[in-house]
Structure 1
């Protein structure tokens, strides 16, 4: 169901707010200039003290400092100071939008309103994001309809979105609207859905703040659960950080709308993965975050579970697991996320509910990671069904990881049909971000360790021997892989066929991971 969560009056108020934010220079760079790099880094760790001290020392206090104290630090501000900071909107307008409440001459924040900056292949972007106040600004557990702001998961998913052009994009579970802002930079139109009407209202404010014509008019907001609002429709691209948190169904466990999709276990991730096949055009892709259960029953490997969903849906996939937690670690992570203090009576009760739920279903661990899916075109080459574990703690994806993965998928398409003889005829280039490390004992004739290190992408490190290092180093587009292997075999005095059988599978892997390129 398409909704219009802002009426004409609210849209006018948001437009005035945008004018005030521009005039106040309420930006990421300006705030960093007010409180300095050290305080900025501390604030990213939820430590507000350095930033608060820096703002308190300002005289006079600029409008951006008033807004930052109110909405980022959660501090009450004088009503008159807020009026000077928002001359177009006014305090009454801020109250009407639900940004603040005012009592006894003091304004207190009701929403988080923060500047946000992004960089991708299309250049830089600067927006304002509206969400609910985080747990550091409130006491006790979060309300069930809490709308999450910008966090590690948001940044990770933003990094997974490709920057190639798209006609229609589906932002499945938009929350505060941040992914729609990223997606619409490279798409003609975006459909953003959410089961939470409150989230859609805040997303509407976020999108309107980005510019009525440039963004808000190209993003359609729809209310409903997962794919229900887009039944029968297909998209070039789907992006989603679904509410995948595995939550026990006990009566005393809050079901947070922003993270709990109402399914058992990892069922919502399975539903999103399988449903992508029905909502992507041929060649369309989906870019998702998720988690998956490891179980003690037969076939209990978490990545194998996701691969089975993909295969049964007939999709291509590249699945990357970045972290794995035990049931106890998982429970602690998400109980704390809801604002319950570790060690409290409520925490211990909730931890018991989580562990009982995992034990009842034989869950021994939970993996977190990225899922890229594609609906293959008719007559496509061999399917890509890649699963891997990259054992870095899950955090924000490196800039451009979405484009990096899509380049790997393109390399697969270009080479999957080639046998070894045809592969050997290719003239390849070593990627510009690949460096070589060599270590050897003093006085040794040769290196004891050779590593090829990728600067971009996932920053992969490949342990190499002299033959592989020589092959990669010779990939400048002049000689075919076969001729390079022949020269190396002669130099190293080894059998050429045996060396070819050893190196060609690695060449395929280096093409897929972007360390070798078909074109410079």
Structure 2
């Protein structure tokens, strides 16, 4: 997108997309489940084959143009954009002639078999429907970004503006479902994170170092009729110096990239600092930009060396704020390098790939990096007038699983877990003994027996929501949780169990209460 699109043209584009029924389910129905799954693997041939010979309806034309990157007949494009007009779309850099498109794309992708390429039209941006469910309910938008590798057929440009990827949907799923006054999106990219934040906040400020990204972000907000987002140009916290926010969300350019001239520095993922310096910058700056009680949620990578663990280093940067760090994956340097070289569109088996691979491994070896952690960070500035807490939130944990996406409702689970942490953290042991608890509705108990045995060999609580935690149980904790129906206070249950198990009440309480606090902090036990 080389220029700002006029507001009146955006209105007409919205009209044309709506008129064509350009929605996620409608597009998926065009080529079916198998082809849709292939597209998610960046393989478009199945979808291309399914549309061969299909009538050139506006919906089919839009899908061919913006999802598959095909050339379409000028007449078909005109029929898809009757209100917008092709001349206006071409002047704004959204569409181009086939010759111009091929020069920019660097590929001769399959098009309509009946199209004379000399008179065809191609998309110069990616523009596709997007549907979601968040704290405010279900919604759908259209999101514009740069064309991806699947259409380009080559490595990405360094100023590439990314569309909605896995990291984007992960951060959206993590967002706490609480209304706030002011929100900040650092490194907004195509703007979708700021758009989601606008559904919770009265005012949103979105920043990016890339003017190109900001043009896409402004276009997307306007296309979807979203007001209340202020877009500012600049790096990280610089555009909001002296300002504070109730919520900061950021999917920063955290990819650890060798600082050598022959390694591409993609703006959407590379912050220009050595190692995990961009994550350190965001974490250290949080205390100056969070309002009391405000929270920051981000994705990040952190390095492990022989001298220091990655999560310990990250925790040491969280000065003046509470932290909860969740590491979801741990990669060795070779695996990490392979992942991000492929992400930029450079494929194995090429000299270019091998050269980048060498640069990445040299960088990690020179700096003594042994592993790289990937995960989520939540920071909170303590409230000035909040309840007295026993200890600050200082939580780091590894939840390495095979999950490929964020479970539905994870933001709500994080909110419940924080509420549980705060609840138990304001109670001393005497107050906790007087509290009535119940088991969260998504929690079940598992028991495993040897054949013929009367007593279980393994007992565990299984959490159905959130991270799907499995908590091992001993006899005392299993009996305690089983009695938590909201009717009896914690102390009453402990005293009854001590009598039933013929155990010392003080000793039983000393072993149970710390675990009860942990179960509250994981939203497994909740206050009745």
What's the counterpart of residue 102 of structure 2? Answer: none
- Cα deviation code 1:334-368 (max 9, x no counterpart): 11111111121111111111111111111111101
| Separation (CA, whole Å) in 2 of partners of 1:72 and 1:429 | 49
Partners of 1:204 and 1:177 in 2: CA distance: 7
Correspondent of 1:303 among 298, 311, 315? 311
Of 280, 293, 303, 1:293 maps to: 303
Which structure 1 residue ranges, 5 or more long, are not aligned?
A: none
Is 1:220 matched with 2:230?
A: yes
CA distance in 2, matches of 1:409, 1:516: 13
Within the candidate set 26, 45, 53, 1:49 is matched to 45
Tell me if 1:210 matches 2:205.
Answer: no
The 5 Å alignment of 1:90-105 reads 90-103=85-98, 104-105=118-119
Which of 156, 160, 167 matches 1:146?
A: 160
2:34 is matched with which residue?
A: 38
Q: Which SS does the other structure have where 1:428 is aligned?
A: strand
Instruction: Give matches, 1:105-184, under 5 Å.
Output: 105-184=119-198
Displacement of 1:55 in angstroms is 2.5
Q: Tell whether 2:90 aligns with 1:84.
A: no
Aligned equivalents of 1:345, 1:186: Cα separation in 2: 48
The 1-side partners of 2:367 and 2:6 are apart by 47
TM-score, L = length of structure 1: 0.94
1:380-419 residue pairs with structure 2 within 5 A?
380-381=388-389, 382-393=391-402, 395-419=404-428
Q: 2:287 aligns with which of 266, 273, 277?
A: 277
For the aligned residue pairs, the C-alpha RMSD in angstroms reads 1.6
C-alpha separation in 2, matches of 1:32 and 1:469: 47
1:426-441 matches, within 5 Å, as 426-441=435-450
Q: In 2, distance between residues paired with 1:475 and 1:39? A: 49
Alpha-carbon shift at residue 459 of structure 1 (Å)? 1.1
Higher normalized contact order (CA 8 Å, seq sep 6+, divided by chain length): 1
CA distance change for structure 1 residues 356 and 243 in 2, over 3 Å: closer, same or farther? same
Structure 1 residue 30 displacement after superposition: 1.4
8 A Cα contact 1:288 1:370, kept in partner: yes
Contact 2:447–2:457 (CA under 8 A) maintained in structure 1: yes
What are the Cα deviations for residues 262-303 of structure 1, in whole angstroms up to 9, with x where unaligned? 111111100001111101100000010001110122xx1000
| Secondary structure class of the residue paired with 1:478 | strand
Contact 1:327 1:364 in 2 (8 A): yes
Q: Work out which of the residue numbers 373, 378, 384 in structure 2 matches 1:372.
A: 378
What is the CA-CA distance between 1:71 and the residue it aligns to?
Answer: 1.0
Q: Which residue matches 1:247?
A: 257
Contact 1:295 1:362 in 2 (8 A): yes
Among residues 277, 301, 315, which one is paired with 2:321 in the alignment?
315
Structure 2: runs of 5 or more not aligned:
99-117
Of 492-501 and 442-451, deviating more is 492-501
Q: Which residue of 2 aligns with 1:422?
A: 431
Distance (whole Å) between structure 2 residues aligned to residue 239 and residue 294 of structure 1: 25
Counterpart position of 2:111: none
- Deviation of the 1:439 alpha carbon: 1.9
Q: Shift in Å at residue 37 of structure 1?
A: 2.6
Number of aligned residues: 505
**TM-score normalised by structure 2 residue count:** 0.92
CA distance in 1 between counterparts of 2:190 and 2:330 reads 27
Superposed displacement of residue 11, structure 1: 1.6
Q: Distance in 1 between matches of 2:95 and 2:271?
A: 30
Deviation string for 1:212-253 (max 9, x for gaps)?
A: xxx1x3111100000001111111100000001111111111
Q: Distance in 1 between matches of 2:519 and 2:275?
A: 36
Distance 2:95 2:425 in 1: 57
Contact 1:131 1:148 in 2 (8 A): yes
1:72 corresponds in structure 2 to 67
1:402 Cα deviation after fit: 2.3
